[in-house]
Amino acid sequence: MRPEKAYLIEEAKNHLSKSEYFFLTDYHGIDAQETSELRSKLAERGAEFHVVKNSSIRLAANPDLIEDLDSHLKGHTAVVVGGDDASGVAKALSEYFKSNEKVSVKAGALGDRPLTADEIKQLATLPGLEQLRAQLLSLFNTPASSLVTVLSAPARGMVTVLKAKADKG
């Protein structure tokens, strides 16, 4: 294998190893300024946008995934990787696609599971990582606040009875 090709494959492997997920996009028709804008929107979520040769992705990705994704490795392909929040990155891509209508998501993978474009759109509708953390924290706090309410009820009842007696007498 030529050194240039080995370098491209190694670079693709490095990109794919940056996160538990990756999304394949079609970037045909966007210019350098639009690409820069997309990269900055993704960078806000900790993600990166890289133009990668289809053959390099085929050789760098998990062989089990490539069977399902091979049909999407045609034309102009870029890979989106990085960041801890796959849902947030999918949301950013979706928002960019709605406003620009030039970049479309072809497919992707989450862990060892291939994703279709429709599944990535569904992933974009899920709450982000921070929102899920807030919901989980709320669930943890609910039993504690309920316990405080139950434990304070007898004392509150006693105070109410004493106040009624004082007001009457």
pLDDT in tens, 123-148: 888 777 777 778 788 777 777 777 67
Does the pTM surpass 0.85? The reply is no
As a whole number of angstroms, the distance between CA 104 and CA 62 comes to 23
- Domain residues for 102? 3-126
Tens of pLDDT, residue by residue over 63-88, are: 777 778 888 888 888 899 987 888 88
Tens of pLDDT, residue by residue over 12-63, are: 888 888 888 899 988 887 888 888 888 898 898 889 998 888 888 888 888 7
The answer on 62 and 32 residing in a single domain is: yes
The answer on 132 and 94 residing in a single domain is: no
Structure-token pair, residue 19: 């996160």
The answer on 116 and 57 residing in a single domain is: yes
The answer on 73 and 145 residing in a single domain is: no
As a whole number of angstroms, the distance between CA 75 and CA 55 comes to 11
**Is the Cβ–Cβ distance between 70 and 19 less than 8 Å?**
no
The answer on 57 and 22 residing in a single domain is: yes
**Is the Cβ–Cβ distance between 59 and 11 less than 8 Å?**
no
Q: Looking at residue 9, which CATH number applies to its domain?
A: 3.30.70.1730
